[in-house]
Structure 1
Amino acid sequence: MGDSPESKTITLPTALITGCSDGGIGSSLAKAFHARGVHVFATTRKLSKMTGLEGLPNVTRLELDVESPSSVAAAKETVIAATSGDGRLNYLVNNSGVNLNFPAVETDIKEAKKVFDVNFWGVVSVTNTFLPLLIASNGMIINNVSLAGALYAPWGSFYAASKAALRTYSETLRLELAPLGVKVMTVMTGLVTSQIFDNAQHNYLAETSHYTPAAAEIASLSSGRTVKSHSMSTAVYAQRVVDDAIGGRSGERWRGNMASVTWLCTWLLPTWLIDIVLVSTSGLKHMVK
């Protein structure tokens, strides 16, 4: 289901963006691409989550669940029909993601797999489905990774692991798709005022948890209170990413607050020193016997 595309064939450059819920990064990316003269296929699981994009002249809202192959295939057919029937797509933005902050050994495996199903396998599914349209237009894939994929922050093991996997996949894909004329940009996203914490699982420690002394810090991280005051607005972040995309950038681009600092630290500092910084705010110090 979705908005009805224009009756005439779309002649503008096109972008399909996953995860465009109101107030999030995807919605701001859709507006930023739209402002640059790109027709945007904005997607999320429910149209009711994209009211902020309703009525924009060159935005087609579509329902797309990255975990559902049939939903992804249906979105592809809509894009093909709207772009002369041959099908072309200039930009594919894999932005959908879910967060999870909880001790690794106490996380339900089903919830951990859900994180990978959306953050990693969902990207693979969408990319494989839309690749023929990208090859046809010498297009670009933009994958929203995270600083978490470059760090070992306590309580974020499965989210970070999914993003580290996505980072490696994305950068390898960049090399493999270059001969086919498709660019890949890996966005190492820093602190941005997105909705990812609001949509995350908010689990509570069991009374028998080993990590009760750190409960306050875990809850603060899970709710986003730890980082929200230090975050870049989605509008500023989106403008910078779209500038990179329109400019034909590829490879890793570090965008969002703390992104450049993290890049520099992971390049220059030894792991043990970064560990000290990450542990100092995690609550693990309360557990020292």
Structure 2
Amino acid sequence: MAPKTVLITGCSDNGIGSALGKVFHERGYHVFATARNPAKMSWLGGLDNVTPVKLDITKAADIKAAVETVTKATDGKLDYFINNAAKNHFMPVLDVEVDAVRDLFESNYFGPLSTTQAFAPLLIKAKGQVSFITSISGYVNTPWMGLYASSKRAIEVVADTLRLELAPLGVTVLTVVTGGVKSSGQTYFDDLKLPEGSLYKGVEETILSRAKGGDGMPRMETLEYANAVVDEMEKGKSGKFWYGEFAEMVRQGTTAVAVPLEAMDSQMIQGTGLDTWKP
């Protein structure tokens, strides 16, 4: 019997995507591991039953080619499709260039939407599952992360709707609301700086430190996270799975009980610079 199949977007080294790929491979799946630059997937070295695929989820030609690759290799079926690829972003709302926000949504919203539409026929044929890796940041108002958070929450609304629309077709939809997890996401901001004239220059060093992971937030080991997530995916459930550091706390604080806005605001500004800074 042919092994079950999974395609994961955003599988560059030392990230959530590569960790998920490793776990699925260990469990006997054929893994289609994708990245904009396949050379950055060195973790694939020496592994059998893994197909590297070049895929920039913002490019229609790449998506079309990826669908063709999987279709030929699997007789048009795909058991699991995981929307993991995304772009991180850190910047005060008043300072961000609007074109940068459009670019952010191309990666974090329109990209997953486009790839899900493209792979849907393969998932329907397999009666498989599509998953979206989202973020607890979409449920809390963390300073400097508002635009990233809004992009992740927006695609989560799409996932929640798809869950209903795909159910009659036999496809489940899982949203993984992710807390703190160790990944390469904190390494993208070496050249980050606030624009000249920013009103927040007084806390710029704090903002830059937090962008690089210096927020004091504990982060779960990536493979620990990946094993738990794959466990949940294999159950074939639809809905939300909250996992990672602080995920359960955020779930309870924002969806299980009513939290006064003032209390949430007071908590979320701690350590961001806004708790002590006076312009």
Structure 1: stretches of 5+ with no match in the other structure: 1-9
Judged with a 3 Å threshold, the aligned counterparts in structure 2 of structure 1 residues 209 and 286 are, in CA distance, closer, same or farther, namely: farther
Aligned to 1:272: 262
Q: Distance in 1 between matches of 2:189 and 2:156?
A: 21
Structure 1 Cα separation of the partners of residues 134 and 18 of structure 2: 17
Q: Which amino acid aligns with 2:18?
A: S
Choose from 269, 278, 283 the match for 2:273: 283
Which digits, 9 at most, give the CA deviation of each residue in 1:183-215, with x for residues without a partner? 000000000001112235843123421111221
Displacement of 1:232 in angstroms is 0.5
Provide Cα deviations, 1:65-88, integer angstroms capped at 9, x if missing partner: 00101101101100011113xx00
Does residue 245 of structure 2 align to residue 257 of structure 1? Answer: yes
Q: 2:105 aligns with which of 99, 116, 123?
A: 116
Is this contact kept in 1: 2:6–2:32, CA < 8 A?
yes
Q: 1:159 aligns with which of 125, 148, 155?
A: 148
Question: For residues 202 and 102 of structure 1, do their structure 2 counterparts lie closer, same or farther at Cα, with a shift above 3 Å needed?
Answer: farther
What's the Cα RMSD here?
Answer: 1.5
1:220 aligned residue: 209
CA distance in 2, matches of 1:285, 1:263: 24
Alignment correspondent of 1:31: 22
Moved more, 190-199 or 114-123: 190-199
Q: Which residue does the alignment assign to 1:7? A: none
How far is 1:111 from its partner?
Answer: 1.4
2:52 to 38, 61, 69: 61
Contact 2:215–2:271 at 8 Å: present in 1 too? no
The answer to which of 235-244 and 213-222 deviates more is 213-222
What is aligned with 2:13? 22
Q: In the alignment, is the contact (CA less than 8 A) between 1:100 and 1:201 conserved in 2?
A: no
Report 1:1-289 matches (<5 A).
11-84=2-75, 87-199=76-188, 202-227=191-216, 230-267=218-255, 268=257, 269-288=259-278
- Deviation (angstroms), 1:105: 1.0
Contact 1:90 1:137 in 2 (8 A): yes
Q: Is the 8 A contact 1:99 1:201 kept in 2?
A: no
The alignment's TM-score, normalised by the length of structure 1, stands at 0.92
Question: Quick check: 207-216 or 65-74, which moved more?
Answer: 207-216
Name the CA shift for 1:274/1:237 in 2 (closer, same or farther; >3 Å): same
Please say if residues 98 and 199 of structure 1, whose CA atoms lie closer than 8 Å, have aligned partners that are also in contact. no
Give the superposition deviation at 1:266.
1.3
Q: Within 2, Cα distance between the matches of 1:236 and 1:226?
A: 21
Give the C-alpha shift of residue 156 in structure 1. Answer: 0.6
Please list the CA deviations of residues 207-247 of structure 1 after superposition, one character each: whole Å capped at 9, or x if unmatched.
421111221221112112215x6100110000001000111
Letter in 1 for 2:273: G
Distance in 1, matches of 2:54 and 2:246, equals: 33
- State whether residues 211 and 287 of structure 1, in contact with CA within 8 Å, keep that contact through their aligned partners in structure 2: no
CA distance in structure 1 between the aligned counterparts of 2:189 and 2:86, rounded to whole angstroms:
9
> For the residues of structure 1 that align with 2:154 and 2:245, how far apart are their CA atoms?
22
* TM, length-normalised to structure 2: 0.95
Identity %, equivalent residues: 40
Q: Distance in 2 between matches of 1:159 and 1:17?
A: 21
Equivalent residue letter for 2:114: S
